[in-house]
Amino acid sequence: MSRVAIAMSGGVDSSVAAALLLEAGRDVFGVTMRLGLAELADRACCGEEEALLARSVCDVLGIQHLVLDMADVVEPFCAAYAAGLTPNPCVRCNERIKFGAFLERVRRLGADTFATGHYARISWTEGQAWLERGADRQKDQSYFLYRVPPESLALLEFPLGDLTKPEVRALAEARGLPTAARRESQEVCFTDDHTAFVMARHPEAGMPGPIEDSTGMVLGTHRGIARYTVGQRKGLGLSGPKGPYRVVHIDAARNAVVVGAADSLLRQHVRLTECVWRLPGPARVLAQVRYRGLPLPATATPTAVGLAVAFDTPTGGLAPGQSVVLYQGDRVVGGGVVPASALSC
C-alpha cells in the first residue's frame, strides 16, 4: 500500500482531504508547515494555533501528525513590497516551500505521494502530469500552483479537486471534524495586516513621500509605499480631468507614488519574466492576470527572455510582481511574473 502525506493547515479543506484519503483505504499521515517566527505563534496559518488544530484533526482521524519548520517565504515577500512590487506569497510558497523543500522532506519521511486540500486537479496525457482548474470555479486555486513543475505534480494528490466548498463543509460536519465551521484563511495567510508586517521588517516602506502625476507635479503625500499597489484608487482621495486617480507606478528608489487616469494602466502587450511554458511554441491561451480575475483571450509567444503575451483587448489588471497564469481550457500551460518595467512611467 502506498503511503501518502497530507499537508494539514488546521482548516476544513485539509481536514476533509485527510478524511477522504483515509476512507479510501490509504496509509495516511499528517504534516504541518510552521514558519518558526515568534510573531506568528498565534496565527491561523504557519503558527502554533494551526499546528494544534491540525493535531486535533489527526487525533480524531487516528493518524500520525508531524510539524516541520519552514521559514523561507516571509522575507522575500516583505522585500518585494518594500521595493514597490505586489508579490503573491502563495505562488512562491507553493513553488519553493510547500511543493519544493516541504515535498522533499515528506518524501524522506517515507511518503510515496503528497496530498493537499487545494481546489485543483491533476490530469495525465502521454505519461505527463498536468495541472487543471478545480471543479469549484469560486475556489479554484490552480492560479497559485502554476509554477509547480511536472516532476512534482506527478507526486501530488488533490482530493478536493472535484468538490465544491459547500460539499466540503457538509462532509466535515458529517464526520464531526473540529474544523468544520472554521473561517476561511486570509489571502496572505501568515498575517492579517501585511502592511504592518512589511514595515516592521522594512521601516523605509512606511516613510511618507510624494504623490506625483506623470509630469512630476506633487499632488499630495503618501503614507508609505507598502500601503499602495498599482491600480489602487482607494485611499488616494485625488481626481484629475478623467476622474479619480489610480496608482500607475511605485518608485521605491525615490519613495514616490505616481498616479494617473485609469486608462493609463491599460496594456495590450506584456513580456513576462520568470516564466514557465509547457507548449512547444506560440499558442492561443486564456490569460488570468489576478487570482479573482476573468480569463482573457490572448496569444502567448515564448522568447529568448521570457513570454510575450498579447491580449485581444487592452487590460488594466497588471501589477508588477503579480503573476499572469495561462490556460487552455481548464489546463495550466504556463505563466510568468509581470516585471517592474512593464508599467513604469
CATH value of 207-264 in 3.40.50.620, 2.30.30.280, 1.20.1740.10, 1.10.3720.10: 2.30.30.280
pLDDT for 193 beyond 70: no
Fold entry, domain 266-342: Elongation Factor Tu (Ef-tu); domain 3 (2.40.30)
Question: Band of the pLDDT at 190, cuts 50, 70, 90?
Answer: low
CA distances to 249, 256, 324 from 341, rounded to whole Å, are 10, 16, 15
Under DSSP, is residue 341 helix (H, G, I), strand (E, B) or coil? helix
- The residue among 234 and 282 whose pLDDT is bigger is 282
Phi-psi region of 158 (alpha: psi -120 to 50; beta: other; left: phi over 0): beta
* pLDDT tens string 96-154: 778 888 888 899 999 999 999 999 999 999 999 999 999 999 999 999 999 999 999 99
Match 480569463 to its residue by C-alpha cell: 295
Is the distance from CB of 259 to CB of 248 less than 8 angstroms?
Answer: yes
CATH architecture classification, 3-174:
3-Layer(aba) Sandwich (3.40)
Phi-psi region of 68 (alpha: psi -120 to 50; beta: other; left: phi over 0): beta
Instruction: State mean pLDDT over 277-305.
Output: 95
The CB density around residue 296, as the number of other CB atoms within 10 Å, is 18
CATH topology match: 3-174 vs 207-264 = no
Question: Band of the pLDDT at 47, cuts 50, 70, 90?
Answer: low
Active-site residue among 46, 90, 189, 275? 189
- In the annotation, is 189 catalytic? yes
* Residue 99 DSSP class: I
Cα–Cα distance for residue pair 121/141, rounded to 1 Å: 9
**Cell (9 digits) for 265:** 494602466
* pLDDT tens string 250-274: 998 999 999 999 898 999 999 999 9
User: Per-domain residue ranges for the chain?
Assistant: 3-174, 207-264, 266-342
Question: Band of the pLDDT at 40, cuts 50, 70, 90?
Answer: very low
Cα–Cα distance for residue pair 297/226, rounded to 1 Å: 32
Instruction: State mean pLDDT over 26-35.
Output: 88
What is the pLDDT, as a whole number, of residue 105?
87
The CB density around residue 249, as the number of other CB atoms within 10 Å, is 20
- In the annotation, is 46 catalytic? no
pLDDT for 42 beyond 60: no
Is the distance from CB of 80 to CB of 202 less than 8 angstroms?
Answer: no
Length of the chain: 345
Please enumerate in sequence order all residues whose Cβ is within 8 A of that of 212, keeping only pairs 6 or more positions apart, or say none.
Answer: 218, 219, 256, 257, 258, 259
* pLDDT tens string 207-237: 999 999 988 999 999 999 888 888 888 888 8
Active-site residue among 78, 93, 275, 345? 93
